[in-house]
Amino acid sequence: MQAAVVIMGVSGSGKTTVGEALATRLGWVFLDADDFHTPAAKAKMAAGEGLTDADRAPWLARLREALQTQPGGVVLACSALRAAYRDALRAPGVHFAYLRVPRAVLEDRLQHRTHYAGVSLLPSQLDTLEEPAGEADTVTLDVQRSDAPDQLAGRIAGAFALS
């Protein structure tokens, strides 16, 4: 693995949209952590239940393996809500970009999309979230409704001096 950026945040924060924009900007591979969940985990979240640490452990292992075996650069959209989850993914060359979005914006976005992780899951995600204050190789972006994905991707690339 040469380098990786994990775009993190709660459901509705824009991880996939910003991650795809960053991957395109850098010419890197884009991976979505949602694609690594089991059908059982997706069903649990669709029912409005948050995943437990036991649910997440094998998922995090699959993500870490994907980051380590991907040749070249990779952008991963992943909630990575707790410091322990980020530590499970952390390795040399792995950077984290946290998309901090106001709750009202998150609720509005989740009301208007079709995804198994709907608005009913937001409270458990916010309860689980440990903001990455002071963590190495991590940048926090305070995202406003008007921020364009390309603009956010540019800020992330600049923060980590990626080209």
Whichever domain contains 87, its CATH number is 3.40.50.300
| 77: three-class secondary structure by DSSP | strand
CA nearest to 94, candidates 81, 75, 69: 75
The number of folded domains in the chain is 1
Residue range of the domain that includes 99: 4-159
Place of tokens 């940048």: 139
Do 9 and 100 form a contact (C-beta atoms < 8 A)? yes
pLDDT of the chain, 163 residues: tens digit per residue: 579 999 999 988 899 999 999 999 999 999 999 899 999 988 887 777 777 889 889 999 999 999 999 888 999 999 999 999 999 999 999 999 999 998 888 878 777 655 545 566 777 788 888 999 999 999 999 998 778 999 999 999 999 999 7
Query: E strands, the chain, where?
Result: 4-8, 29-32, 74-77, 94-100, 138-142
Alpha carbon distance 30, 7 (integer Å): 11
pTM reported for the whole predicted model: 0.88
